[in-house]
Amino acid sequence: MGDPKQLRKKYNTPRHPWIRATIESERIVTKDYGLVKKKEIHIANSFIKKYRDIAKRLIATRTLAQAQKEKEQILGKLQDLGLLSSGAELEQILGLELKDVLSRRLQSIVYRKGLARSMKQSRQFITHRHVMVGEHEISSPSYLVSLAEESTVTFKQKSALADAEHPERVILVKGETPAPKSPSAPKTEAAEVPKETASEAQ
């Protein structure tokens, strides 16, 4: 049984971690979703595998009453998380992809709602305890946000980031350039004044 105090790993790692194609795809995913460790990818993949295995088992035993009950529970949970559309069937669980799970993470939701300028900044805001989901402070970027909770994702009221004009939240429009810090117009006018004065003196 093992020591109940010992935490067990809740995800599986690839059997062959040194496959070049896998390494390249993980590098792209890590960059696109602002991940820090490949462990986060393994957790998401294990989540998908878990429900795929359940779906395969239920498809094979769909005539049983208990299987029908489990089917409703599984589909309901994945629909609440926004991973499946309303009215989806068990077969659609087999089509879930890694990006489907990663896009439901709190880190992705904060960025998609425009509360952060990048995925990395979104992660920083969450880990620094600036983000609330409903009435709860969430400091885990990997938290899976349900459809019901998505509209409640915001900054803490006491956080300085709650102000939309905060420098870290201002998003520069594409193609827009910031105003120059040292305008040249006043300098030109100041330089012309002595010349006009000198001509008048003559």
CA distance linking residue 149 with residue 182, whole number of Å: 46
Judge whether 139 and 37 are in contact, CB under 8 Å.
no
Q: Give long-range contacts, CB 8 A cutoff, 24+ apart: 135-138.
A: 138/106
CA distance linking residue 144 with residue 162, whole number of Å: 22
CB atoms within 10 A of CB 131: 28
90 in any annotated domain: yes
Q: In the 8-state DSSP scheme, what is residue 92?
A: G
- The count of domains in the chain is 2
Domain CATH for 142: 3.10.290.10
**What does the pLDDT read at residue 11?**
84
The whole domain housing 142 covers: 106-162
**What does the pLDDT read at residue 199?**
43
**What does the pLDDT read at residue 180?**
44
Reported pTM: 0.78
41 and 87, same domain (yes or no)? yes
**What does the pLDDT read at residue 110?**
96
Residue position matching structure tokens 């971690």:
17
- Of the candidates 59, 25, 57, 63, which has an alpha carbon nearest to the alpha carbon of residue 44? 25
26 in any annotated domain: yes
38 and 71, same domain (yes or no)? yes
167 in any annotated domain: no
**What does the pLDDT read at residue 68?**
86
41 and 63, same domain (yes or no)? yes
- pLDDT string in tens for the chain (202-residue length): 456 666 777 788 888 888 999 999 999 999 999 999 999 999 999 999 999 999 999 888 867 788 888 999 999 999 999 999 998 999 999 999 999 999 999 999 999 999 999 999 999 999 999 999 999 999 999 999 999 999 999 999 999 999 888 888 876 444 444 444 444 444 434 444 444 444 444 4
**What does the pLDDT read at residue 62?**
63
38 in any annotated domain: yes
151 in any annotated domain: yes
**What does the pLDDT read at residue 153?**
96
CB atoms within 10 A of CB 79: 16
**What does the pLDDT read at residue 27?**
95
From residue 161, alpha-carbon distances to 109, 125, 145, 178 in Å are 16, 9, 21, 21
188 in any annotated domain: no
What are the b/e assignments for 18-53, b being 16+ CB within 10 Å? eeeeeeeebeebbeebbbeebebbbbbbebbeebee
84 and 24, same domain (yes or no)? yes
